[in-house]
Amino acid sequence: MDDEPLARRGLELRLARHADIEIVGEAGNGRQAFHAISALRPDLMFLDVQMPGIDGFGLLRMLPATQVPLTVFVTAYDHYATAAFAASALDYLLKPVDDARLDESVDRTRARLAARKTEDHYERLLKFIATLPGGRRSEIDALLGDEGPRADCRLTIKDGHRVLRIDVDSIRWIDAAGDYMCIHAGDETHVLRGTMQQLERRLDPQKFARIHRSTIVNLERVKEMRPHVNGEYFLLLDSGQELKLSRSYRDKIKFFT
């Protein structure tokens, strides 16, 4: 994603040397990139920091966690490096892009994708084991299943093969992606299988509210609300993230009435 057509073309030619890379799309600004990522769901994105309108960092803040591809920043300014890695960038390339450094980024991407496939394989094994007859619930499953709604100031979740205790106050928002949910707490995003209804029952309704069929927000993290079209609103969180407040949930949030 780059606002300079020549830069995009140069990167495309360099990437053509790698037979396992397929270029599925390109964009000249942040808004185009947002729609392209939502539609194409790429594994890897080369992203310019400075673009007209929405810059590279703004684009990452707009994207739901489940849609953010592995990201390599490409820019002419090295002073963005710290911010780039703070945004969990896979790598950072300076223009003009050096072939050896680009190859290094591609190798790093392959390794990261291979690790991700290993995690997916482990998750499939867990699902298969769960279907086997005759076994008792594991201690982990018992712990999760027996926790009552709003038990204390910490939320116990199973993130992959880990059991975590999350400080409820650190949760900014939760969004759903199919059969999975992403809990955005502090600087981390935790992914777990379940439904919004199940998680909603475990959260304090005085602090957490459903603002969309796939989104729950910590009301104490909301700093601003601004109107949008058709009776909808955007909520600005203390992290800078914007979330849409659906019209059908607007009247149910006492915090804003």
What is the pTM (predicted TM-score) of this model? 0.47
| Token reading at 36 | 């392209």
Q: What is the pLDDT of residues 82-99, one digit of tens each?
A: 555 555 567 888 888 888
Q: What is the CATH number of the domain that holds 244?
A: 2.40.50.1020
Beta pairing partners, 44: 70
Q: How many residues does the chain have?
A: 257
Which of 13-17, 57-61, 148-152, 202-206 shows the lowest per-residue confidence on average (mean pLDDT)? 148-152
Residue pair 5/28 in contact (Cβ under 8 Å)? The answer is yes
Looking at per-residue confidence, does 51 or 105 come out higher? 105
Residue pair 170/207 in contact (Cβ under 8 Å)? The answer is no
Q: Could you give the C-alpha distances from 187 to 193, 222, 239, in angstroms and in order?
A: 20, 17, 9
**pLDDT of res. 239:** 86
* Boundary-marking domain end, from 113, 128, 162: 113
Q: What is the pLDDT of residues 114-161, one digit of tens each?
A: 777 655 654 555 455 445 454 433 443 444 444 454 545 788 777 566
**pLDDT of res. 135:** 41
* Boundary-marking domain end, from 113, 129, 155: 113
Averaged over 199-211, what is the pLDDT?
A: 87
Looking at per-residue confidence, does 25 or 118 come out higher? 25
Residue-number span of the structural domain to which 90 is assigned: 5-113
206 lies in a domain?
Answer: yes
Beta strands in 148-250, from DSSP E residues, in sequence order? 154-159, 162-167, 171-177, 180-185, 188-193, 208-212, 215-218, 222-227, 233-237, 242-245
* Boundary-marking domain end, from 97, 113, 129: 113
Sheet of 215-218, strands arranged across: 188-193, 180-185, 171-177, 215-218, 208-212
124 lies in a domain?
Answer: no
